Structure 1
């Protein structure tokens, strides 16, 4: 897909994660969709690529711990802003007996909302088009706000002009948007620049009301998106790439503990495989394999 040792920048939000245990106690860690993907991508690529995370944090001890953890994972910190007096967002995961999760969020004042609007953001925005791959999600679009989205679009246009690959994970969360119309408008503003769309079928149906997978692929064909991956949980993922279709079965597991980051880990492994020369089918197999491991462990990030 790109250079022999690609530079990838993932844009988004990392939050304080509280995992509720069966006895009511809370286990604290960190997570967020693009951050989860960044960690798993860095692990998958190793020294065959470099991964930077683009976000804004506070100057508190939780933000310090986040950065320390990312450095251990090999994620570059040069694109992380530290805003005095601000804090990262927080969320709590509650899971049912089947491993399905419910999220409770505290994020309205999170530092990431100013990620692209501070004076310190100017050199970051200027540097982003120099990467080989830019990766962001529907949650990224929501949390950076309208002004941040305008800055992002300008960046995507320049990045594509320079030959960068743009990767988008749809991750639609209705609670983050004032209306479904606002979300649709934001998605439409960036999708023309996307070359690899990593979609979850439930999110596509919730956002656009697509009747089935064929309707999803038809919509992205009209946009001209060259590579579309449709994640469908425990079912086979479907791929359309350069006019060819693929149907790749998921990995079965006996017991699902927590589905948090299942889609993020799939996306990371898929992208890593494609960057290393794997075919779409091989990339999907890698995605399913990693996701099958992630859902058997509590929390977003499994031990290395």
Structure 2
């Protein structure tokens, strides 16, 4: 892949939800978030005006959906691939954090508009346009919320995009509650892995989904993926690329406030660095730097300043 980010077109596919942050005093702070949306925002910030970052999703025609689109536009994210479905609503989730900054999520999303993102008549021109992008980015959560038919259409799109030279990027984000069974999730993940060029994996998710014994087993499960990054929280991340292996230490943080979007922000900075021509080691260092800032602020998206 040509790694100059000038004029690059990047599409991130997934779900954004209404986010409620549960404060210690019992109050709720409302914002928006979702794994691929978080990555889209941080990626747009990292790349600036040198690239086109579009978000691919479906929302309702309500005021929350209006506010989402406005906030994305303010971040420089393109809205041309966002469907607005009459009478529908976005999903909602609440973040609860403990004294160590570890988070627990509560979700209300079963009827979210994104469930029909790739199955409406309005989705056809979007699906037709996606293979022309330089980079397509999606996650395990994307796979879950799209449903069986949506996943089938996604795979068809990935195949055509790769034939045109696109770079396919996958973040494994596994959420058991979104799947009918672990076997269903395993089958869906394995279906798409053959079409992934860069896999951004969280070790805990890989262990939970596939039961791998160690990091070596995780890497062995991705024999045909050109670049594999294994994120391990506060530990060093592990990278396999071009027949070589690397270990890049994480940045130490004295006080963790909220780990929400730590992995999403790491992925954004890593991808941005690679698109600018940086090495895997440089990309991992950039990922750790951004993630270390994100986990010191409540919520998924930190202020731009």
Which deviations, in whole Å up to 9, do the C-alpha atoms of 1:103-123 show, x marking residues without a partner? 000000000000000000000
In structure 1, the partner of 2:23 is: 21
Q: CA deviation at 1:3?
A: 5.6
Q: Which residue of 1 aligns with 2:96?
A: 94
Aligned to 1:291: 291
Q: Distance in 1 between matches of 2:3 and 2:238?
A: 26
| 1:210-289 aligned within 5 A | 210-221=212-223, 224-289=224-289
The answer to whether the 8 Å contact 2:11/2:56 transfers is yes
TM score, norm. by length of structure 2: 0.98
Work out the CA distance in 2 between the residues paired with 1:294 and 1:280: 21
> Which residue number corresponds to residue 74 of structure 2?
72
Q: Deviations over 1:46-102 (max 9, x none)?
A: 012110000000000000000000000000000000000000000000000000000
Deviation sequence 1:16-42 (CA, Å, 0-9, x none): 000011100000000000000000000
Mapped to 2, the partners of 1:28 and 1:300 lie a distance apart of 11
Structure 2 gap ranges (5+): none
Instruction: Give the conservation status (yes or no) of the 8 Å contact 2:172–2:205.
Output: yes
Distance in 1 separating the partners of 2:86 and 2:53: 25
Tell me how far apart the structure 2 counterparts of residues 89 and 81 of structure 1 sit (CA, whole Å).
15
Compared with structure 1, are the counterparts of its residues 77 and 156 closer, same or farther at alpha carbon in structure 2 (3 Å cutoff)? same
* 5+ residue gaps, structure 1: none
Contact 1:142–1:176 (CA under 8 A) maintained in structure 2 = yes
**In 2, distance between residues paired with 1:144 and 1:52?**
18
Taking structure 1 as the reference length, the TM-score comes to 0.99
- Distance between the aligned counterparts of 1:28 and 1:37, measured in 2? 19
1:203 aligned residue: 205
Q: CA RMSD in A?
A: 0.6
